[in-house]
Chain A
């Protein structure tokens, strides 16, 4: 399968990339493991690819001013093997370790995954549960988008056509514990259901799902059950009952909406039990 012809440019800075992106029907190329298959099937036919894999400022992970900063071009493998992430955000390590396969993890990037917004991608769940902020830059300057506002639907985000994700910032929550569990499609390893839970030191909880609906989401109904309650079996069961609620659950040849709804509750229960 051969994509349609395109021009290729490899800028050295974010500013050069933004300039290249705002010129014609251009697309960003990072790892390429979502974009290139789509191009080969001619589902997308950009006139130009802007390869951002050579921009040094888009690489790396650091802790700064009470936040963990993951620059957008960091690969899943680099996140998986990073000790700071392992210690501070264990559910990011868990998510990184089950994305695709070794080859995909070696090339794919967190920024690429978030921008692509595949409804079955793993990253959105822990990113939402961790209260991450997504920093983007475009011709109009930079802005910071809370993850809860970022995802707008199927393969859709708040990103404008000339904007690039530069970093994902996650507030450090002392004493918080976290878990990410997913039920994977066995060939592609995409999440049929993915559930991320962050339990804060004061007992409050953030719950986020991916794979369940057209866009990933925080489950406020299930979270509210924990307000002022102790973490016992009854509270967990009530939260599991409350989960998903009125959400429009996806149905496809891998899982019907009834089965997906059931799986989401099973995985939420397992995640909550792991943190009890």
Chain B
């Protein structure tokens, strides 16, 4: 069946089989190979992209489900040749080693920083729990997201108290 999607600002129309996964559509049809395939079972998060602005695992989504949606992949983060602050921060803080998980981590972090521009370290770790990294031990990933949050906000980050348990 025919799908109509907008990927990184470019509109596409393609005939696809319903069982074609979105990640295969992005990689094999559009040749956007920055989105990686890791576990294939919706656990590791390497395939994370934005569907209508929200982080989603593209290995657990059929391309037909993305019909009429706007998709952003790691290739769409840089604007006018300028890397996104998350991308420069990962470079500066050594937030990656082999780099396989990095596109997914950055896409999840980009969605999260829109919702919470001044996250605590603990909030960043919680936000990234759907993205597995087998190299870094996560320390520099967290530092990279913290640095990106600072770069993305003009004011200094607000230091938050640890959030109370929601017991009412």
Contacts and interface: CB of A to CB of B under 8 A. Distances in A.
Interface of A: 1-8, 10, 29, 32-33, 36-37, 40-41, 49, 51, 53, 77, 86, 90, 93-94, 97, 100-104, 106-107, 177-179, 187-189, 274-275
A104 B57 CA distance: 8
The 7 lowest CB-CB distance pairs between A and B, nearest first, are A101-B130, A8-B18, A90-B168, A106-B54, A274-B167, A36-B60, A103-B57
- Sorting the interface of chain B by its residue count into under 10, 10 to 19, 20 to 34 or 35 or more gives 20 to 34
A104 B130 CA distance: 8
B65 A33 contact: no
Q: Residue among A32, A94, A106 with the most chain B CB within 10 A?
A: A106
28 contacts: A1-B41, A2-B21, A5-B17, A7-B18, A8-B18, A8-B64, A10-B64, A29-B65, A32-B61, A32-B62, A32-B65, A36-B60, A37-B42, A40-B41, A49-B18, A86-B166, A90-B167, A90-B168, A94-B166, A97-B166, A101-B45, A101-B129, A102-B55, A103-B45, A103-B56, A103-B108, A177-B167, A274-B165
B43 interface: yes
B40 interface: yes
Nearest to B20: A2
B150 interface: no
A106 B56 contact: yes
Contacts of B134: none
A90 B62 CA distance: 34
- Which DSSP category, helix, strand, loop or mixed, fits chain B's interface? loop
Given A3-B19, A40-B41, A104-B42, 11 more contacts: A1-B41, A51-B64, A102-B111, A103-B56, A103-B108, A103-B130, A104-B57, A177-B167, A178-B168, A179-B167, A189-B129
A83 B56 CA distance: 24
Interface of B: 1, 17-19, 21, 40-43, 45, 48, 54-57, 60-62, 64-65, 67, 108, 111-112, 127, 129-131, 165-168
A275 B167 contact: yes
Contacts of B54: 77, 106
Given A51-B65, A106-B56, A5 B112 contact: no
A32 B42 CA distance: 10
B168 to A, nearest CB: 4
Contacts of B64: 8, 10, 51
A25 to B, nearest CB: 15
A67 B43 CA distance: 35
Contacts of A40: 40-41
Listed residue (A93, A100, A103, A179) with the most chain B CB atoms within 10 angstroms of its CB: A103
A17 to B, nearest CB: 15
A178 B146 CA distance: 34
Contacts of A3: 19
A178 B166 CA distance: 10
A32 B112 CA distance: 22
